[in-house]
Amino acid sequence: MQRNGVRAVCIAFAVACLPTVLLTNSERPAPARTAVISAVPIRAATLPSVDKQTRGHATPIHRAHPIAKPRPPRPERPITDMPTGSLTVTLSFDDGPDPRWTPTVLDLLRQYHAKAIFCMVGLHAAANPALVRRIAAEGHVLCDHSWTHDEHLGRRPAGTIEFEVGHTAAVITQAAGVAPRYYRAPGGNWTPNVIVTAQSHRLHPLGWSVDPADWAKPGTSAIIARVLGTVHPGAVILMHDGYGDRSQSVAALRQILPALAARGYRFTVPR
């Protein structure tokens, strides 16, 4: 009975200590707590302002400089004299080639060993390619005198000017096998836009310094007197071999050539 009492005391002691044992066994060291950095939302007001006034200042963008446009060519002044330092003159004939008058003019020039500049209208050159070839083959210089002899060409649109000048040059070149070197404005009505167009085709503007106005048919004697009365060394003489009756011009040329030769003049063209 005493043994049973001891057992009962031991059991009661164990039961009394059980919560303490369980609590002790279940405790574990708490893991070390780390500081948590919370993400703070960034408000739009804190961002750099990118508006129309500040755009491009924060990070400048290097842009290429615009390419400067080339300056248009400066129009040449029309040539009116071709001085050589000696007694020379340059004969020029406008408005041909004409199948009636141009062959006679060529025959007279050959007789006096004279060279000349022929300023041809494109329509006439296209209609008489054999004459264009003869002019070039006999050593004369070719000149573009526009396609239709429009005396107001400078007022026309750029495309019309280009056709009048460029197409005429192409037709002359095709017929002669040699490109024209000069351009003469119909009526001598020069404008910068026409000159620049001629220059784009490597044509130099050709004027004159002696004009007997043979185109107006003033009479053979008047044509001769005007040429012989105003001629000078280096002069460019204007005459006509096309557009209508040029009998007065041809008759005057028959006397002008020997008269100038008697004065010691030679007939040359630029090379």
Catalytic residues: 94, 240
- SS3 string, 119-188, reads EECHHHHHHCHHHHHHHHHCCCEEEECCCCCCCCHHHCCHHHHHHHHHHHHHHHHHHHCCCCCEECCHHH
| CB of 80 closer than 8 Å to CB of 207 | yes
- Going from the C-alpha of 80 to that of each of 89, 92, 117, the distances in angstroms are 11, 11, 13
State the virtual CA torsion across 136, 142, 147, 152 in degrees, nearest 10: -160
Alpha-carbon torsion 218, 116, 141, 183, what sign?
A: negative
- Alpha-carbon distance of 185 to 149, in angstroms, equals 8
Return all residues near 167 (Cβ < 8 A) that are at least 6 apart: 122, 147
End-to-end Cα spacing for the chain: 158
- Alpha-carbon distance of 143 to 125, in angstroms, equals 11
φ, ψ for residue 15, nearest 5 deg = -65, -35
